[in-house]
Structure 1
Amino acid sequence: MIHRTTIKAYQVGLVFENGKLNTVLEEGKHWVLGSKEVQVFEMKQSFVAPVEIKLLLQNEKLASMLEVVEIADGEIAFYFVNGIFKEVLVTGRYAFWKGYMENTFIKANIQKVAITEAIPVTILENMKVRSFIRKFIVASNDTGLLFVNGEFLNELKAGTHYFWNNTITIDVKTVDRRQQQLEIGGQELLTKDKAGLRINFFVSYKVVNIMKAVVENKEYEKQLYVAMQLALRAFVSTFTLDELLAKKETIGETILEETKTAMTHLGLSVVAAGIKDIILPGDMKEIMNQVLVAEKKAQANSIMRREETAATRSLLNTAKLMEENEMLWKLKEMEYVEKITEKIGEITISGSGNIMGQLKEIFVK
């Protein structure tokens, strides 16, 4: 039995006899004898072997027409067609036709942590690749610490970092390097004279040694909170309420000095600290208000007494001068007459006599 088959451009025909590759047919018309089977393959597609590819490659002509890529365990390959990414190839053997398209590959060992292969970021962000990648973002004001299987490996700068997605445990801890503020609020404290009060305290700090803060210490912010809390309690207990209120502005500096060593061990630099509020209980507040009112009244009485004393002393001096100087006495009389006349609206004269003489007797003695 003879039959004819036509192989078009960019097609390849494989002739099988009893399941074994017999002949490779290229473009053109061919006569096939006997009960041989012809399978036609498109060169624009990857070659999917109908039988074990190792057996097919024993045919030298077919082997010269195919590009074979083997992907070992723990590897993947990025497959590009004419320079454009097409897909990810996992473990296995793949064959691609030569000549029709330019096939390129980037093999990668995904059993390690870092991506050392020259793979563009746009490829790493491709949906087909995401399952093979772990992605971590370190913000612009942060520093990242890379831990592999629980052990610190290295620091990561701000930016996007990619790692292979495998059985290796990867963790990235980020630390903000900007100045931050920690509130230590509602501290119920007793002064030296047993006065109960509540203090709201604040601390401004920066992480200056990220290794000490994160690697050598656990939860450095909680440790900072406790250190400042204890220092504040110790400070308040050594002063009476009045002394504490007088030292309110300098408490922060004192506490900073006392906790300086502890902050160094935590890898922190405390920029500022201070009291935001001192809140007294209701009864204590009422007593303080009474004391304040009493002090103000005493101050007012003292001022009034000083003014009265000054006025009396001034009158006494004036009297002495007038006693010693008759002219000054007359001038003072005229001054008072002038003040009296300013208050008089009109004068009504009754009776008879010398009017001018009467006025002189009224105003001038």
Structure 2
Amino acid sequence: MFKKITIQADERGLLFDKGSYVRKLMPGTYRLSSWSQSTVVVLNIARPFVVDGKDLQLFLHDDDLVRELHIVRVQDHEYVLHYEDGQFRQLLKPGTYAFWNMFKKHTFLHTDTRQPELSAEVDRSVVPKLAAYVQPYEIASYESGFLFYDHVLQRELPPGKYYFWRGSVSVMVKTIDLRQQQMDLIGQEMMTEDKVTLRINFVCQYKIVNPLRALEMKSFDEQIRIQLQLLLREYVGTLKLDDLLKRKQDAASFVLSRLHEQEEAFGVQFLSAGVKDVVLPGDMKEILNTVLLAEKKAQANLITRREETASTRSLLNTAKLMDENETLFRLKELEFLEKICEKIGSISLTGGGDLLERLNSLVGEKRRASN
């Protein structure tokens, strides 16, 4: 009795005797006796060379078999990109692999993970298929990046997208924002020269011009904040409250000029600064409001007296003119009579004489009667 085994044109057979590999079988028909301990494993040459339960090294002593195989050895520090007929197939991790070299053309790209950045040889279109093995970093157009391998600075990265292998080397990218930034000091308690405690809201705009210097400083933002606080305290501490309120805008000029002296040390350019608010204690507010009210009342009284003086002077000038000019005097009398007549419903006059003289005499009689 025989066992019939047929191997197709796209297949190869591996003959085993008592579990040990003997040789490769080409396409054709084979008969094995039923009592024989020989077995045949049939493999499709369109697929990778893999025999379940057997190590690849078991077959590499067969030169005839090896001539039909493409053997790839991936080192511990490598990833290998496998392409079939120019198309990406898979990523090979450390180990030994074999592929049939008849039907398809196999090419392999070796990458060294000790140099984590993906080289230009790796087509970026296949990166999404490598998501489990690649870590991306993106640097915006307003940022500057710094590349670290195992916490050691390598170089500065311009804006763009970068990819690095996940491997034995730790990769980290730190970014620095180069846009104009604003720092607010809110409710900073300070004491003036005359021992008045108040709170100041201060603002400062700046931009980083030396990102490496900013990166080298620990707690960069906090150091700038502390410097602002110290300079502001220095200014406020030399002025009395009244002087500070009058010259609070000068605080910005003082602080900004002192900050310019430290631009190189911080690696920044300070653009502007200013006092937003000066918040006084409650009791001090009441005192200042009282002072302000008194000042406004004094100003109002001064204006009233000034207007009264001007009115009296105007009357005096008018009287002098009428005394010197009879016609002007008569016109002024007519003006007063017109105003009197506006308030009287009707006037009855009898007898002859000039109308104006009779009205004057009538007004004179009314005045004497009232007296």
5+ residue gaps, structure 2: 365-371
Please state how far the C-alpha of 1:255 moved relative to its aligned partner: 0.7
Please state how far the C-alpha of 1:285 moved relative to its aligned partner: 0.9
**Cα distance in 1, alignment partners of residues 170 and 221 from structure 2:** 26
Match of 1:75 in 2: 78
- The code of the aligned residue for 1:140 comes to S
Please state how far the C-alpha of 1:64 moved relative to its aligned partner: 1.6
Q: Which secondary structure state, in structure 2, belongs to the residue aligned with residue 152 of structure 1?
A: strand
User: Are 1:319 and 2:319 an aligned pair?
Assistant: yes
Computed over aligned residues only, the root mean square deviation of the Cα atoms, in angstroms, reads 2.3
User: Are 1:66 and 2:69 an aligned pair?
Assistant: yes
**Cα distance in 2, alignment partners of residues 105 and 358 from structure 1:** 131
Q: Which secondary structure state, in structure 1, belongs to the residue aligned with residue 300 of structure 2?
A: helix
Q: Deviations over 1:48-81 (max 9, x none)?
A: 2465544533333212211111112211211222
Contact kept, 8 Å, 2:259 with 2:270, in 1: the verdict is no
Match of 2:297 in 1: 297
Superposed counterparts of 1:191-206, under 5 Å: 191-206=192-207
Between 303-312 and 100-109, report the one with greater CA deviation: 100-109
Match of 1:178 in 2: 179
- The code of the aligned residue for 1:360 comes to E
**Pair 1:315–1:71, CA change in 2 (3 A):** same
**Cα distance in 2, alignment partners of residues 357 and 32 from structure 1:** 165
User: Are 1:336 and 2:336 an aligned pair?
Assistant: yes
Match of 2:281 in 1: 281
**Cα distance in 2, alignment partners of residues 224 and 243 from structure 1:** 27
Q: Of residues 37, 40, 55 in structure 2, which corresponds to 1:38? A: 40
Between 183-192 and 11-20, report the one with greater CA deviation: 11-20
**Cα distance in 1, alignment partners of residues 142 and 194 from structure 2:** 47
Q: Which secondary structure state, in structure 1, belongs to the residue aligned with residue 61 of structure 2?
A: coil
Q: Deviations over 1:88-143 (max 9, x none)?
A: 212221111122222221111112332236112232322xx333323222233221
User: Are 1:257 and 2:254 an aligned pair?
Assistant: no
Q: Which secondary structure state, in structure 2, belongs to the residue aligned with residue 299 of structure 1?
A: helix
Please state how far the C-alpha of 1:313 moved relative to its aligned partner: 1.1
User: Are 1:362 and 2:362 an aligned pair?
Assistant: no
Match of 1:119 in 2: 122
Between 201-210 and 110-119, report the one with greater CA deviation: 110-119
Runs of 4+ in 1 over 6 A off after TM superposition: none
**Cα distance in 2, alignment partners of residues 358 and 20 from structure 1:** 156
Q: Which secondary structure state, in structure 2, belongs to the residue aligned with residue 218 of structure 1?
A: coil
Contact kept, 8 Å, 2:136 with 2:163, in 1: the verdict is yes
- The code of the aligned residue for 1:334 comes to L
**Pair 1:360–1:55, CA change in 2 (3 A):** closer
Contact kept, 8 Å, 2:113 with 2:168, in 1: the verdict is no
Match of 1:57 in 2: 60
Please state how far the C-alpha of 1:20 moved relative to its aligned partner: 4.6
Match of 1:86 in 2: 89
**Cα distance in 1, alignment partners of residues 251 and 355 from structure 2:** 80
**Cα distance in 1, alignment partners of residues 177 and 11 from structure 2:** 61
Match of 1:169 in 2: 170
- The TM-score normalised by the length of structure 1 is 0.90
Please state how far the C-alpha of 1:222 moved relative to its aligned partner: 0.6
Contact kept, 8 Å, 1:224 with 1:263, in 2: the verdict is no
- The code of the aligned residue for 1:136 comes to Y
- The TM-score normalised by the length of structure 2 is 0.89
**Pair 1:2–1:87, CA change in 2 (3 A):** same
Match of 1:221 in 2: 221
Match of 2:369 in 1: none
Contact kept, 8 Å, 1:205 with 1:272, in 2: the verdict is yes
- The code of the aligned residue for 2:298 comes to A
Q: Deviations over 1:168-197 (max 9, x none)?
A: 233221111111111101011122222221
**Pair 1:224–1:291, CA change in 2 (3 A):** same
**Cα distance in 1, alignment partners of residues 163 and 93 from structure 2:** 19
Contact kept, 8 Å, 1:227 with 1:262, in 2: the verdict is no
- The code of the aligned residue for 1:12 comes to R
Contact kept, 8 Å, 2:201 with 2:278, in 1: the verdict is yes
Q: Which secondary structure state, in structure 2, belongs to the residue aligned with residue 168 of structure 1?
A: coil
Q: Which secondary structure state, in structure 1, belongs to the residue aligned with residue 132 of structure 2?
A: helix
**Cα distance in 2, alignment partners of residues 190 and 68 from structure 1:** 80
**Cα distance in 2, alignment partners of residues 309 and 72 from structure 1:** 107
**Cα distance in 1, alignment partners of residues 356 and 295 from structure 2:** 55
**Cα distance in 2, alignment partners of residues 261 and 17 from structure 1:** 87
Q: Which secondary structure state, in structure 1, belongs to the residue aligned with residue 49 of structure 2?
A: coil
**Cα distance in 2, alignment partners of residues 214 and 88 from structure 1:** 36
Q: Deviations over 1:24-68 (max 9, x none)?
A: 322222345783332211112211246554453333321221111
5+ residue gaps, structure 1: none
Superposed counterparts of 1:234-253, under 5 Å: 234-253=234-253
Q: Which secondary structure state, in structure 1, belongs to the residue aligned with residue 249 of structure 2?
A: helix
Amino-acid identity (%): 39
- The code of the aligned residue for 2:289 comes to N
Please state how far the C-alpha of 1:3 moved relative to its aligned partner: 4.6
Match of 2:106 in 1: 103
**Cα distance in 2, alignment partners of residues 334 and 309 from structure 1:** 27
**Pair 1:326–1:5, CA change in 2 (3 A):** closer
- The code of the aligned residue for 2:284 comes to M
Q: Which secondary structure state, in structure 1, belongs to the residue aligned with residue 270 of structure 2?
A: strand
Contact kept, 8 Å, 1:8 with 1:28, in 2: the verdict is yes
How many residues are aligned here? Answer: 359
